[in-house]
Chains A and B, each alone.
Chain A
Amino acid sequence: MTKVSMTVNGRPMSGEVEGRTLLVSFLRDQQGLTGTHVGCDTSQCGACVVHVDGKAVKSCTMLALEAEGAEVATIEGQAAPDGTLNAIQAAFQEHHGLQCGFCTPGMVMSAAALLKENPKPSEGEIRHYLEGNLCRCTGYHNIVKAIMAASGQDVTSIAAE
């Protein structure tokens, strides 16, 4: 076992892990941050997306020891300490951007990464960026709508399909 330390949602966290411990296992099983989900465990579905040093990564395909010293952000750190949802979360609620909700943590974290590098993405750019995030309820339409809304753009142009 090796000691690993990182900052998660602004708080220092550390634990003893094996070489093979995945970042998502460290977050969920050791730190109790179960908001990050494991969907496919094969880096296809994106339910496990978190940010490492500001970049979206699939935490099921990164070893915990690779995040030594890193700044990690998960879904738990997205709302304000008093529980007020951030703009993306609020827009997901407002536009019904979730059905069963399983993919939502990854969707929100991917959306946050997208809006950081492209504050006003087009509908096409949003859909392209979400290539690695799967929604088994196929609720993509409202997810795209929510991200448009969160970026301060008009969503009426997105016609129902």
Chain B
Amino acid sequence: MYEFEFARPETVADALQALGEEDAQALGGGQTLIPTLKQRLAMPTTLVSLGGIAEIKGVCQTDDGKLAIGGGTTHADVAAGASAYPALAALAGQIGDPAVRNRGTIGGSLANNDPAACYPAAALASGATIVTNAREIAADDYFQGMFTTALEEGEIITEVRFPVPEAANYQKFLQPASRFAMVGVFVAKFADGVRVAVTGASEEGVFRWTEAEAALSANFSADAITGLSVAEDGMIGDIHGTKAYRAHLVGVMTKRAVTAAG
């Protein structure tokens, strides 16, 4: 790692001030950023830990029935505390391994927007709202391609609000070495329609499979998407799986998710 100054503010206001310094960088749980720093792929002058900010931690229900999760909440705390949204709790409990889940945070995952991360699929399929220190961003506007989001420099995710669907499920085809999703599909059935979000598959990062959404909104069963497929073009192809393989997995994992959601 290159040298950096370290700050551990206790309030969002102090964190914003620290992030105002040139080349300052926010640190969530560090489960991606610390390995990145070790490889000298990033060179912040100041690392601003968000780990000491109590006001952005925890899970609660809002008055209008949504599940609100603080941006600094660890995966382990979401797995244990999001019982009002079982599919989301289950997703959090499958990220990485237990020690990683005790450090990694939902805000950190969404801010990084790794193309194979799990949370982006949940946020996009749920139609979640990403709340920052400055504004509220709809998930549909938030994800803007691999490692790219609508966040401005120095903006902090303080909360993520999830509408709770009638039925939902996340199916993850594990890349066994990294434990990221080779392909992960989150299906969420709401009163006004079904949303399907796919992670791990596309070079553009998480995306909605709108063709499947239309079919499933008309008939919520695995049979409804038989015959549908995503284009190989634009899928990730690497040593772990070809573009065609990932495109195929999208259909398979969607069917499994629909069946498991009931």
Question: A residues near B, CB below 8 A?
Answer: 2, 18-20, 22, 41-44, 46, 49, 52, 55-58, 61-63, 65-66, 68, 110, 113-114, 129, 131-133
Asked if B1 contacts A57 (CB within 8 A), the reply is no
Q: A56-B98, A68-B8 are in contact. List 4 more A-B contacts (CB 8 A).
A: A20-B4, A46-B99, A129-B98, A131-B179
Please tell me the number of chain B residues within 8 Å of chain A, measured between CB atoms.
27
CA distance A56 to B74 in the complex (A): 13
Closest 3 A-B residue pairs measured CB to CB?
Answer: A132-B97, A19-B6, A20-B1
* A42 with B102: CB separation less than 8 A: no
Q: Which residues of A contact B76 (CB under 8 A)?
A: 55
Report Cα–Cα, A52/B99, bound state, in Å.
Answer: 10
A19-B47, A62-B30, A62-B103 known; A46-B97 Cβ under 8 A = yes
Q: Determine the chain A residues whose CB is within 8 A of the CB of B35 once the complex forms.
A: 42-43, 61
Q: What are 27 A-to-B residue pairs whose CB atoms are below 8 Å?
A: A2-B6, A19-B3, A19-B5, A19-B6, A20-B1, A20-B4, A22-B34, A42-B35, A46-B99, A52-B102, A56-B99, A57-B99, A57-B103, A61-B30, A61-B35, A62-B30, A63-B49, A65-B49, A66-B49, A66-B51, A68-B8, A110-B99, A129-B98, A131-B179, A132-B98, A132-B99, A132-B100
Q: How far is the CB of B143 from chain A (nearest CB, A)?
A: 25
**Interface residue? B240 (CB, 8 A):** no
Q: Is B37 engaged at the interface, CB distance under 8 Å to the other chain? A: yes
B residues lining the A interface (CB < 8 Å): 1-6, 8, 27, 30-31, 34-35, 37-38, 47, 49, 51, 76, 96-100, 102-103, 177, 179
Q: Which residues of A have CB within 8 Å of B177?
A: 44
Shortest Cβ distance from A109 into B: residue:
B99
